[in-house]
Amino acid sequence: MKRQVIGYAYVVGDLLHKGHRLHLKNCKALCAHLIVGVLSEKAVLEKKPAPIQTLADRIEAVMDLKYVDCAVCQDQYSPLENCKALRPDILFESSSHLDMPANNYMKSIGSQIIVMPYYSEESTTQLKERIKNDKANKSIVTKSTA
C-alpha cells in the first residue's frame, strides 16, 4: 500500500475568512492528510497583534473546516518545532513570509516545501479595521429606530 502524503500548514486562524479557506483548501488539494498548526497567542505576538479569539476557539474553528484533518497548537511563529515533531512530507509556507526557518530542516529530511500564494484581498488585519471603522461610522440602533 502506498504511503499517503501528510501536509503541514499553519495559521493564526483569528476571524476565519476567505483567504484562510482558500489557502487551506489549496493545501489539502496537494496532500492526503492536512495538519494545521494554529499559532498560540505567544507565537502570534512574535510578529503580529494579539488575536481576538482564544486559542481553543481558533483551533475548533480550523478543525471545523472540511479541508483540515487535524489541528494542533503551534507555540512559536516558526513551524520548525512542529515539523520536527510531526515530520510532514510537505510544509506549506505563505508567500507573505520573508523568513522561513523550517525550510532547511524540511530539506534535510527529504520533505518538500511548497510556497502558497498569499491572498492579499482578504486579511484578518483588514477585517478588524473594517469592523472598527464601521463601528465608528454607525450610530447606535435601538429597537425603536430599527
d(CA 35, CA 89): 11
Amino acid identity of 146? A
Confidence band of 17 (pLDDT split at 50, 70, 90) = confident
The domain spans of the chain are 6-137
CATH superfamily of the domain spanning 6-137 = HUPs (3.40.50.620)
Q: Determine the pLDDT at residue 4.
A: 95
Three-state SS for 15-42 is: CCCHHHHHHHHHHHCCCCEEEEEEECHH
69: CB partners within 8 A, 6+ apart: 33, 34, 35
75: CB partners within 8 A, 6+ apart: 40, 42, 43, 81
Kindly report the pTM of this predicted structure.
Answer: 0.84
Average of per-residue pLDDT values in the chain: 87
